[in-house]
Chains A and B, each alone.
Chain A
Amino acid sequence: MDWLPAALFWGVPLAYILFRGFRSPDQRFLERWARVYGIELTEANRPMIVAYLRRTTRIRTVGALVGLATSILFVTLTNGGQSNSFLGNGLFLALVGYLVGTVVAEAVVPRPPRGAVRTASLVPRTLQDYLPGHAVAALRGLPALSVALIPVYVVAKAWSDAPVSNISEFGFAVTSAILLVMAIGIEVMQRMIVHRPQPVLALDLVEADDAIRSASVHALAGGGVALSLIWLTYQLGAIGNGQAAVLSWVLAFLAILSIGLALASWIDLAHPKEWRVRRHVQQGSRA
């Protein structure tokens, strides 16, 4: 019966994740989703929303699970089940997988067809219409902060007599640079989602399409910000090791705060409680 605690530890959350990721969106779920984005469910837009939610949730879940499995495999193969490396951080790789899943889902989700007469709305679309400004700022600022910590780590490692961390300065810098490139890639992807063609067939379809765009942009932002904060946690922990007690405690506190913020930001951004696409708010006021 030695396997029972481990099976419960991994099995229960895994079963919950699989249930959440693979269930078909029921009426209650759809109504809640529509309320979040302030749209009305109609016979015309319902199939489009159901198809989007079903596919994206499944693909993102598979991505996150592949990331988690990679982490477990890495830890098992490299260090017999013990690892201090960020590649051994299950949450980190699960988020990477989630982000990859989000990108893949965007490529495979069906789009509304064009009519014989081409139509377009004269209301501009900008990233800030689909995502709160603080999320855009966090997605830009956190990787920049991570890069700014590279010289701090180099100095901390050079000045400390005690061993600071097992990660080299080069590895520290490369990972920060990868994070920066990832953040740029996420923003490019978000802009592609916002600017992809939107034929205007009916108002309910346009509103549903904009809600879908917003949900995808939110998912990318949630994953990106959480990933940046997890790396920041690791960086702060690495800098804090081997420092004077007070500084070490402060950095450890900031690292714990950062991991908490990572989870909170992923939950809050990827699953907003309420978000109205501003484009429609503007359009409504002028109609």
Chain B
Amino acid sequence: MSNQYVDRGLSAPVNVTWEVTYGCNLSCVHCLSDSGERRRGELSTDECKRVIDAMSENRVFQFSVGGGEPFSRDDFVDLMDYAHEKGIVTCISTNGTLINDEIARRLGHKLVYLQVSLDGATPESNDAIRGKGSFRRALRGLECLKKRDIEVSINTVLTRLSLPELDALAGLAASLGAKFRVSRFRPSGRGKKSWRSLNVSKDQMVAFSDWLSNHLGVSTGDSFFSVAHEDRKALGLNMCGACKLTCCVSPLGEIYPCAFLQETEFLAGKLPEDDFARIWTGSPVFESFRDLEIRSCESCDRFELCHGGCPAIAYHTQKKLGLPDPGCLVNCVSVKKTVSRVA
């Protein structure tokens, strides 16, 4: 499903992914940002407020906030309050381990949505990926949020280890009154090293696709449209939204097409010093990304469902943009030689 208005170009993103820090108290083996220690050059509180100002001036509707672990920043809740004063919705992705009653109280705002990451339904299975003690601490955070009636979803990254846990995780989410979301494992950050050992096989991906059709209440966002059946078409975005509906701000204020393409060649600008509107409408990186066509997929009868899938996964696995998503249901494994229109 393409959209003529999106294709023509919107004046600004609808949603901006904002990674607010590289700092994290966990060391998940698949971390897309290779997080751990805070890094020099991370935006100060004032600089972060200027980023929020820039997004507000450009009428961005929503931040999808992550990191690292956002709550590892001392000023994080203050920054979210600032965003809410501007009317911006904040969807916060967190490991949940730093959430206590006081933080939960401050998060009780109608513009706040929280996503707590778990990769297994038991301490053993979860902690194998996210670190010892992380399951117990995340559950404690979830209990604090539940007391405040804050809308929460549990997010799981699909790997060989989490795949057998999906039913149990869905049940755990339901028991906590939370939604359940499954995200795609992408080979960026620490995910590059763990890609071969953790990524699901093609057979497992096909099995997961069938599982999704039997669990229409499970969200997948823009993660799995390359494998989703027709019955899920209306549930979420079925095309890459990078540079059309969204972009990414790194902890250093750098602007990229998406969180999974934070590579030098995709750097489009830097906040707060650059003018965001100019980056969005005039950056050569963004323009070429908008022109991206996955030519080899266009003749496929699933093209309207997936539009070639996730360009980031194609890029990281095949070292080039404009190639098919390797995790596609039609199993387009053999990469056909194609002319890429990427500048």
A binds B: no
